[in-house]
Every structure is written in C-alpha cells, then in structure tokens.
Amino acid sequence: MISFSHILSLFLLILITPEVVFSFCYPKIPLLDLQPAQYNGSWFVIARKPSNSRYFLPKNINSSMISLILNSDNTSLSFSEYHTVEQKCKSLTGNMTKHKGGYMLEVKQEAGTNYVEKIFFRPIYHGYSGEQNEEMNMVLYGCLDGNDNGGCKIGDELVLIMSNSRHPQTLQLYKSAQVIEDEACIDILHFTALDTYTECGDEMVDEDQKLRHAKIDEDNEFVDVECRVENIRPANNNISIFFKEPRVLTVVAYIDASLSGEQIAHISCRYNSETTAECEWIRQDTCFKTNLTQTLSTNQIQISSSILKINGSTVPIDWSGFVLWENGDEYISMHCGLVDDDGACDSVRVYVWSDEDHMDQPTINEIYRELQKVCIDPTDLIFLNTFHECIIPSPTPSLLHCQSPNGWSPITLSMLQGVWYIAADLNADPKMFLQSTVINMKRIQNSSDLELIYYAQKESDGRCIGPGNGTVRLTDNGELHVHIEYSYSFVPGYKSSIKFKFQILYLDNQRAVLYWCFRRAENGTCTQHDVTFMIRSRHFSHNDLSMILPYLDKVCIDRKDLRWFDLHSQCGTEISSSTILRRDLITLTHYHVLDILTNVQEPKCLYNEIRGVKADFYSLERAGTWFLMSRMDEMSMDTYAMVGRIFAVTNSTAVLRLFQSAALPGEPRECFTRVFTIRERENKEKLDYWYELHFESTTKNSTFMIFRFLFYNRHVGVIYSCLRNKADGRCDEKAIYVISRHESIDHAELTVIEKVAKSVCVEPLLLYHVAAHDECIFEHSRLKPPACSSIDIVSSNAEWIEMNLQQIEASYGRLLYQVVASSNSRAPTFALRFDGQHFQKITEQPSGCLSSPIAQIRFSQRNRNLIYLPSDDGLIAVIHPAGVRSDLLLREAQMSGVLPCLAPTPIPENQNCTQLVAPVCKYPNEALTDTEQMNGDWFLFSSDPMFVLNWRCTFKDGDDDYTHSFECFSESWVGECERPTRGTLHINASNSTFYTVFDEEEAPIRTPEAEIFTSGRISVTDERLILLKEDHLVGRAYSLWLRKTEGGMTEKVKQDAESFCVWPIESQIRHTAMLC
C-alpha cells in the first residue's frame, strides 16, 4: 500500500501546458444568471469606478447606499439610492426592469422634472460569505447600452462593488477585484473607495446593518477595547438560571497555563444538581473521572475540581471566574491571575463551556468578539475534542511498541466531511515532495461514500495540480479506503486510478492524524510507514501539535522527521474552508484592501521613489506580540519562525525583543533571543518615514539596518528593507516581512497583504510562509520579561557567557568603561578597564584611584554593554566608554534578559579619582580655512556601526570651494568587490558640518546611511579623517580613515581620535588590505 501523500505526489507528473499571455486585455463579460431575489435588499457601495458620462451619480460622492425591493411581479425592482455630497445626504429613486440578461435602471434625476436617466447594468460577480452565507457581495457593470459581447466602451463604464455588509470580507473584495481586472479589463486604481460608515440611508437598512452596530474610529478601524482589568464590566447574565435545568457541559476551548503539557483532549461534566457534577477527562487512551463542585452568584461562578496529571499525581484545579458572556447554551468564564503594570491582565484563565457537541461558526465569532472586548486574543484558545467518548479500550495482549495502535473512536462520516489542509507528512524516501495540498470531502447522495476533490502543489517548481477527483469509504473497522483518479495532459481522455488505505490515529472536528504501515517485521513492529496531519483551517498552532504528538510516539515517529506543508499556498483557493471552530479575525477594512490593490498597479522600483508610512511605537506596543507570517530575505540564516514585542521609550525610540527560530542552510535550527533599538526618522517634505534598527551583540560587530513600513494598520504590517542598490536604483539585496498581531491570519487577507510586495517590485510568490507551531516561539508571553522588582540576582538571566582573553581583547580592548547603571543603587561608583589579563575595578579612595582585579566577570551574549559580577555580590551593571546615560540604552539592557531593576548611577562630581569622571568628547565645530588635506586616497580603518568589510576612497577638488568629489570602492562581508560609489562632499567651513550628494547617474550602494555618512561633522588632518554623526542609535556614529594601508594606527593618531571619543577596538577595525 502507498500513503496518501505518496499518491498525491504522483499527480505532479501531470503536465500543464502554459497558456500564451498577451499584454492586451480583451473584455470577457461573465454571463451571470441571477434570480431577481438575489438583488433584493440593502447594498452598501464599497467602491466605484465612475463613468466619463454622469450616469445618475455625481462624481464627487463620498458614500452610497442602494436599496432594491422586489416588486409584486417578482421580476422588476424598486430602486432607492442615498449618497453624501459635501456632508449632505441626498437621495434618488427609480425602477429596474429585466433587459438582456441584466437590468435597465431608470433613475428620476431632479425632483419635479420629467428627466429620466437610463443605464444598463449587468452583474459580473456575485458571492456569499460566512458560515450561513449571511454576507452577499456583488459587482454591477453598466453603461448606456452594451455592445455585442456585453462590454462597454472604454471609459464609459460605471462599475459598483457592493456588499450587504459595511465591512465586507477581504476574500470577496479580492475576488471582485480579480473579476474586474481579468474579465472587464479595468484596473482597480481607477476605483474610489466610499465610506460605508455614514448615517445617510441608515433608516432604510435592516437592523443588523444599522450604523450603531459598526463601531469604528476616525481611521476606519475597529475601536480600541478596554484593557484595564478594573474597568471590565461584563453584561448582566442569567448564569444562576442557566443551571436550573439538567446540563451536560463540554469544554469547547480554554486558556489555562495549569493544563500546559497535560495533553488533555476532552473535558465534559454531567451535572447532578446546580452545584455538583461528575467530569470525564480524556488524555490519549486514558480516561479518568473527577468530581466538581460549584457555587453561583451574580456574574460569578466558583468551580473546584481535580485533575490526574500526566505524572500520575492528582491535584486540585480551579475553574472559577466571572461570567464574561452567556447565551443560554454556552458561557465564558474568565479569571485574571496577574494584573500587569499597565492595568491589563498578564495571566488570564478562560473557559468556554457548551451543552452542544458542535458549536456553529456565528457563535464562535461572537465568542471571539467578547474576548477581544477585554483584550484577550482569541487565537490563544486551545480547542478540545468535543466528540470524544470516555470509553477505555481493553488492553491488547503483549502489545509491542511501534505496533499499530487501537483505531480511533468515535468516527462518523460527518466528522470527515468538509475541507482539510495537509499540514505535514513524513520526510522519507521514496517520495516526490509536495508544497501544499487541500482536499474537500462531500457526502454522496444515497451512498455511504464521500466524494473527494483535491488540489496539490509541487515543491520543485510550484505547479498547481487540480482539481482531481476520488472517493473515500469508511469501513466498519475504522479504516479509510481511498480511490483517486488522475490523468496526464499528454494522454488526453485517459484516466488512471489508484487505491490506498489509512488508519485514523486521531480525529476531532479540527484535526486528524492518518497513518499506515507498509511493511512489518516478524515481531509485528512497523519498519516502513507514513503519517499525514490534516487541519480544518490554514492555521496549525503549537497547541495543535502538542495534541497529536503523543499519537506519533505510539507509532515511533519522531517529530524531527516531519515535513511541513505551506498552509497559505494559493493552490486550491477554489476550495473554501468553513473554518469550523477556528479563528476568523478580520483585520483589513475595504479601504485597506482597495488601497493595496491600487498601489500595486503603480509600483515604485527605485530607491528614491519608495516611501514608508508611520507606525506609531505606542500603537505597536499596545498590540502586544507580533507574529511573523511570511518573509523574503537574503540573510545568512534562514528564519523558520519569529515573534517580537515593541517597548516604546519615547515617541521616536523603542526597544524590540525577538524570539527567532533560524539556522544556517543545512544546519539544525536553533532558538535565539535578540534585542534591538529602533529610532524613527521622518522626511516631512517627501512624506516618508523610515526606521533605524541597531543590533550589537557581545561577540559580533555593531551594525544597523534601515526599514520602512509599506503598510500598517495596528493589526498587520508589511516591513521592507533594501540592503544594497543596483546602479539603476533598483534593489539588489532586499528583505520583506509580513507581521500580524494575531497568531493566525485570514488566508484572503494574507494574500492581499502580501501583494504589498508588488508595490516595491517584489513578486509575492517569493515570500516564504513561516510556522506558528515552532517550539522556539511557543511561549511568546516571555517576550515581556516579568516585573524587574520580582527578580533576584540568582534567578537573573541574560545568556551570560565567559570569554577568554583573546575574545575580551577583541570585544572590549583596553578602554576605560564607566558604569552608568547597576542593579544596586547603593553601590559606590566605579569603572572598569581590561589590562590584558584581568578586568580592573577602579574605585575612589581619598588618595585617588584604586585598581583591584575582578575575580570573575560574565558578559551578556545579547548586549555587549551588560555585565555580571558574581564575586561582587552578584552585581549586574551597564557600562559605556563615554559614560552615556541614555534611557534607550538602559531600556535595551533591561530587556536583554530576566533581570533585577537596573537604575542609572549618579554622575560623579568633585571626584578624587579622575578616571571616574566621564570623558568630555571633542566636537568638531571650528571654522575651516582650507580643506585641501581631504584630497588623495583614504582607507577605512574602523567604524561603528559597520556595513562593509573594507572601503577605499579617493577625494579630489570639487567644482566649488569646500567641495570634494569622491570615488569609493567597497568590499562586502563575503569578500565581493562591489561597484564604485561616486558623489560630492559639501563642507560648511564655518562649523565643520558636511552633507553628501551621491552621483545621480548611479544610485549609491546603500541608503541612507553607511560608513560614508549622508551628513554629520568632519575633522581632517594630513594623517586621518574622522566623520561623526550625532543623535544616532549607538550614541555617536563614527568612521575613521587613514592614509596608508601599512603601518596601522600611530600613537599620535590614536590619542587624537580618542579626544573625539573614538576608541577603535579590534571588532571595529578593518585590515585595509583590500583588493578592490
């Protein structure tokens, strides 16, 4: 027998003949045969493409709502329209009658006149959304009269994108845009988004469409909710009446740290009275029972029970909390275990109880909204198996490890029906690898079989195969027998078929594990097998993984041998999932969707054309954890998963803390914790925002990158960075990251958001979708360290490492470091200096300075300015050679680990020990009489931060006084000779400032910063050139250039540079022997 994933691999042999694509689009107006009743109702015009002619609607409208009422003849429609112009609400009336497969609209224009305007409308798209098809969406295409193929003259079209929802789902907008562009040959950039949140026409819509039910803010986004625990006011409920009738309640989903790692699959409780119940728990094949007692009061429920833990012990468990929501069949209990500094709940316990095995999607959505109201992310919910039965199977005699386990129970066809996505299979040969697979199983009328439809995408070339067909039969012994048909394009009309089997290891309404053993040893153990994970939605979380891992252990499959599929592939989008019991968060407004689809029509490919939008740091911080959804970069390490949190320091500075799962190509992945500082920059003239991100580890050089937000709306963002430009201004080394504040994301929304990449000339297909289940990011709550006041020295951690003498020399040199903050505010001020053998602690004595060797010192691998002195009462200190006391650097140090509170040390005054006084850094501010010394060759000796391995520049006199043209050659970190950089340095002789203008014929390799600063201050002598830039993330950025490639730094130049607080250490120094 062959596994399911093996069989689907065979379909990749199907050859798909590529279609010839023409640059010119010919309108192909779809022929939709809609019933009159499908027009009936109130429609919000989401966007419109106006006609060159007037066609009943003024061109300057801000909103439009259309009411269509089916007349008594059940064919014609009564037409009413309400629109706003200059904040005034106006209305139009008319009638729609059947005409040529569409409707002829006759609109009375002016009150009291007989003028009637006509337009022929045809529906070119009609779709439904929601579990119960409660949302309808439609595109009307019209003009005075259509030509033979139903199309209109170019420019004469009036196109309306309409929905019965003020906030249509992104998938429907995306499909509408596709039809308009592909079939009607009209670019979305010609459309104007209209306001759906106005009162104009509100009296004509149904109750659920009323404006009061659509809360938004001035940015057309959902309003922020109340996060302070003390202000949470749940609505009055009837929880005491809820238990008046007999109940059997099942835990549908929960958030509870006490159940972490317990592998619980099912919890249900049968109530004997209002206050007592017997509960059944299921963990794999283990079923155990416990008793429950509860007391009820207004909006409160006190519940106590017990749990048989996985280690065999029985311990009490508390399910108490206030009742957040209740509807007569379900209720939500919530308890806050720890209130954070900002008043929000930092440790929440949530249980969703229901007396139904199956909870419909509208109820799930309502539960999500209730949780969002109190700042709980619904994606944190862990869903349990509500269909389980507490039946303990009889033990199998002499059951060997790795034999086939007992089949799953219960199994019904209804549990198998619907859409499934393949999340993973076994990474074993022989196999042709698939990148994604989606299947849909439907009940065949008058049959016990299921019809199977599939799409599969090949990993090697991305080809999408499908739709394919097959059947699935559930046998009496719980096996799945699958029969699939497939064909080859080079053998027209011929279909092949193949049969295979599955054993169901695990099944609930959200997840399934299918297994089959192909070959067994004589003792019954399996020697060749395969496994397939299936999931109902495009989101596979760590909780999903933890639920099914025990079943892999039973059949001796290591999780490291699993191969993960792309759940957000575009292959198979024709199959729509109902997202049963799953996340369904809408994070894009129709403004966002249409803006994105418009912007990609006019991409900006050159470095000087790209503009970034503002992403407020406090908004980023309030959102909490940000999850990486997809990425495309050319970094040395491949990123498999990443989460991060922003901690704002000021309006323009912040600290970013990341958990990252990454690896060098071919190496095993590792977990990393990284800390960065960020500064916001703005060019008001160009309406451009960009962000400087600085990274400085102990064992590596300091560097930073520039990134921009191409899109940001408090829920999702698209980050772009160009690390290197081509000569023509296009990006040569780029990075794009799509982030979301929610662990999961709607597939259609991700599809639209990834299209933002096209606005900077990057194909969205190049983006790699990362994993949400990666163990490196599972405990993302740890991104925010616990309150520093609760941490002692013993429990502190910042990846402390010890370094040998050579490493210390390279990272710290022989510089004098001031202690600018420490974990003991009462400790006397001191400084540190490495003498080649030990770090010397310098303290003040009446006679001056006292140096004493430090017995033991450790360094944080995440922050080179953070040290730990175990021999000095476990003191943790922040050091800096220039004695900089910066709130940003202090917050960066505090966020570098789990640390006690770090407080700034007082600035020493009138010290007997001069070494404890911070140096006064010289600042180039003198008037210059001559800059002739600039001319000639210069080699980069050192810099902070660093971008390239080496630079060599030649300066010559420019066209004007105090200007110098330059030509520079650089060598990248991989030893690659880069193209030359040319430009002119303009010096202000009155105060030693300068700015750089790069050659217009060729784009600079890096923008806007590199070792050749775009602006700053300059100091030059015959022997050295120093460029300085203040207000930088590292405090003061510098680059030091010398004349000769041999001889190195002289003592004279060294002392001269130190007067500017330029202290080159080994990790910052280049060898200057470049070949470029």
Q: Look at strands 449-458 and 434-443 and give their pairing.
A: antiparallel
535 and 634 assigned to the same domain:
no
The verdict on residue 66 lying in a domain is yes
Least confident range of 437-446, 690-699, 833-842:
690-699
Choose from 9-18, 244-253, 279-288, 740-749 the range with maximum mean pLDDT.
244-253
349 and 427 assigned to the same domain:
no
Choose from 32-36, 434-438, 837-841 the range with maximum mean pLDDT.
837-841
pLDDT-above-70 percentage for the chain: 89
pLDDT at 389 over 70: no
pLDDT at site 162: 95
**Residue written as tokens 């579990």?**
131
The verdict on residue 382 lying in a domain is no
d(CA 500, CA 444): 20
The verdict on residue 830 lying in a domain is yes
Domain range for 956 is: 932-1068
pLDDT tens figures, 324-342: 998 888 999 999 888 776 6
700 and 755 assigned to the same domain:
yes
364 and 452 assigned to the same domain:
no
pLDDT at 226 over 70: no
Here the tokens at position 281 are 């728990």
- How confident is the model over 603-611, as a mean pLDDT? 90
In angstroms, what CA-CA distances link 917 with 678, 829, 832, 842? 29, 10, 12, 11
The verdict on residue 536 lying in a domain is yes
Least confident range of 83-92, 484-493, 687-696:
484-493
pLDDT tens figures, 56-109: 778 789 999 999 999 999 999 999 999 999 889 999 999 999 988 889 999 887
d(CA 514, CA 74): 51
440 and 514 assigned to the same domain:
yes
Least confident range of 387-396, 533-542, 1044-1053:
387-396
The total number of residues shown for the chain amounts to: 1076
Of 374, 393, 416, the residue at which a domain comes to its end is 374
HSE-CB for 104 with a 13 A CA cutoff: 11
- How confident is the model over 573-579, as a mean pLDDT? 69
pLDDT at 984 over 90: yes
In angstroms, what CA-CA distances link 1046 with 970, 1010, 1025, 1042? 18, 24, 16, 10
Cβ atoms of 345 and 324 closer than 8 Å: no
Beta bridge partners of 768: 631
Here the tokens at position 52 are 């060159």
Of 750, 783, 816, the residue at which a domain comes to its end is 783
pLDDT at site 5: 44
Q: The whole model's pTM is what?
A: 0.83
d(CA 491, CA 319): 63
Nearest to 821, CA basis, from 910, 750, 776, 883 = 883
> How many CB atoms within 10 Å of residue 789?
8
pLDDT at 193 over 70: yes
- How confident is the model over 1038-1067, as a mean pLDDT? 84
945 and 1064 assigned to the same domain:
yes
Of 355, 374, 393, the residue at which a domain comes to its end is 374
pLDDT tens figures, 767-821: 999 988 888 988 887 888 888 988 988 888 999 999 999 999 988 989 999 999 9
pLDDT tens figures, 716-756: 999 999 988 888 989 998 999 999 988 888 888 888 999 99
307 and 424 assigned to the same domain:
no
d(CA 656, CA 680): 13
- How confident is the model over 709-713, as a mean pLDDT? 93
Higher pLDDT, 866 or 497: 866
pLDDT tens figures, 988-1009: 989 999 999 988 888 888 877 7
Q: What is the CATH number of the domain that holds 236?
A: 2.40.128.20
The verdict on residue 571 lying in a domain is no
Here the tokens at position 150 are 């139903």
155 and 175 assigned to the same domain:
yes
666 and 635 assigned to the same domain:
yes
Cβ atoms of 473 and 452 closer than 8 Å: no
pLDDT at 866 over 90: yes
d(CA 579, CA 251): 19
Amino acid identity, residue 676? Answer: F
How many domains does the chain fold into? 6
831 and 896 assigned to the same domain:
yes
Per-residue confidence band for 488, with pLDDT thresholds at 50, 70 and 90: low
Higher pLDDT, 948 or 12: 948
pLDDT at 224 over 50: no
Higher pLDDT, 212 or 18: 212
Per-residue confidence band for 170, with pLDDT thresholds at 50, 70 and 90: confident
- How confident is the model over 561-579, as a mean pLDDT? 82
pLDDT at site 351: 96
The verdict on residue 150 lying in a domain is yes
pLDDT at 384 over 80: yes
Per-residue confidence band for 983, with pLDDT thresholds at 50, 70 and 90: very high
pLDDT at site 422: 93
The verdict on residue 29 lying in a domain is no
pLDDT at 929 over 90: no
Rg (CA), the chain: 34
The whole-chain average pLDDT of the chain stands at 84
Per-residue confidence band for 429, with pLDDT thresholds at 50, 70 and 90: low
pLDDT-above-90 percentage for the chain: 37
pLDDT at 710 over 60: yes
725 and 792 assigned to the same domain:
no
Per-residue confidence band for 148, with pLDDT thresholds at 50, 70 and 90: low
Nearest to 94, CA basis, from 75, 123, 118, 62 = 118
258 and 290 assigned to the same domain:
yes
Here the tokens at position 497 are 């078929």
pLDDT at 522 over 90: no
The verdict on residue 590 lying in a domain is no
pLDDT tens figures, 252-281: 999 998 888 888 889 999 999 989 999 999
